[in-house]
Amino acid sequence: MIVAQNIKKNGSTPEVIMKTTLFNLHEIKIDGGNVIIEFYAGDIFDVYSDILLLSAYKGNFFPKTGTTWGCLFARTGITIEGFTSKEIQRISKNILSFNINENKHFAQLVAIELSKFNNPGSFTTATLMNRYRELVDFLETHPSEEVESISLPLLGTGNQGIPMEDSVAELLKTFNQLKRTKLKIIRVFARDFESIGVLNKKINELLNRTEVVHTTLLNAALNDAKEIINMDVSTLSFNTLTDLLSLADSNNSSLKAFGLAGRIFAEKLCDELLRIYGIVLEPSTLHSKISGLSLYLRKDRPHIESHLRLLQTYGNQVSHAGGAELNHQDAASIVISMLRIADFYEYKHSSTIDQN
């Protein structure tokens, strides 16, 4: 997702300032399914998640201007200062949950304490490793059935002074050991836009990914995507294609991220088409969803099933450890299939609206 802000300069055409940008994707296999990690640069409050996890000094949640706790107060009016013991639940040694008022940014507020206020230098890489392990324990045991997503910052990269590359390396190493969770999406935020290239390079190195080279065919497909999002399209198509462009524009972006983005879109698109056609499926893997849609798609536009199968195949390929790496022709094929499917969905979506 790209969140933009329009600012007029001297009465001229508004200038678009990018605030929050998706720049990488990773998938973790867990018991009975998978979890997607989305990496963002920008403001952690810009993207809704069921749980918002913020880091803090031990026992210090003062809403100082410029800190995340200060931003929390500015955005929601929520401050933890003055909370009673009844409003705070200690979940583990360093993780706390707060009873907060309803707001549009998150449903549950959680804090992870990193170091004492007067001794941030005591926070080491070993401390970081312990905090990520404690966080994994929380993700495996705490979230309830209705909770699907969490947003958190890269831990230790502020006043604790841990390099971003070290924090993302420890995060991936620890989170890849996740065995079970109710969550479907983990959103990780880096505040510095200049960090995108560095973090992508480190993620690619750790996960043995090949970086994208923008070929003529791939650029042509991405330009088509840019034209589509400037049209009057559905929220699903707009968000999907802006995410895709965000991944493509990020420095040192990886081919595997394209494969994951394509499969995620295929799953969301199939859910929408099943709803439009009135089909109920249990259990509902992507394979069974496409199979369930097959008869209907053959009557409408037969080639759409092939495009969905392509996204399924590439998505499975990048999800399996040791799977073959995608090439630049594969990336272009993924984008083209996403555009063809989006075009079909817009036709079905608009037809449904007209009927209603």
Mean pLDDT value of segment 59-77: 89
Q: Which helix (H) or strand (E) holds 258?
A: helix 255-277
Q: Is 216-355 assigned to CATH 2.60.40? A: no
**Class level of CATH domain 23-207:** alpha beta
**What is the SS3 assignment for 244?**
helix
> Dihedral angle at the C-alpha atoms of 145, 150, 156, 159, nearest 10 degrees?
-120
Domain ranges of the chain: 23-207, 216-355
Give CA angle at 333 (329, 338), nearest 5°: 150
Give the pLDDT band of residue 193 (cuts 50, 70, 90). Answer: confident
Give the model's pLDDT for residue 145. Answer: 76
HEC letters along 43-85: CCCCCCEEEEEEEEECCECCCCCCCHHHHHHHHHCCCCCCCCH
pTM for this structure?
0.86
**Whole-number Cα distances in Å, 197 to 87, 102, 169, 250, 276:** 41, 36, 15, 7, 40
Is the separation of the CB atoms in 28 and 35 below 8 Å? yes
Give the model's pLDDT for residue 356. Answer: 54
* DSSP designation for 91: -
Q: Is the pLDDT of residue 331 over 60?
A: yes
Give the model's pLDDT for residue 323. Answer: 58
Mean pLDDT value of segment 67-78: 91
Give the pLDDT band of residue 3 (cuts 50, 70, 90). Answer: very low
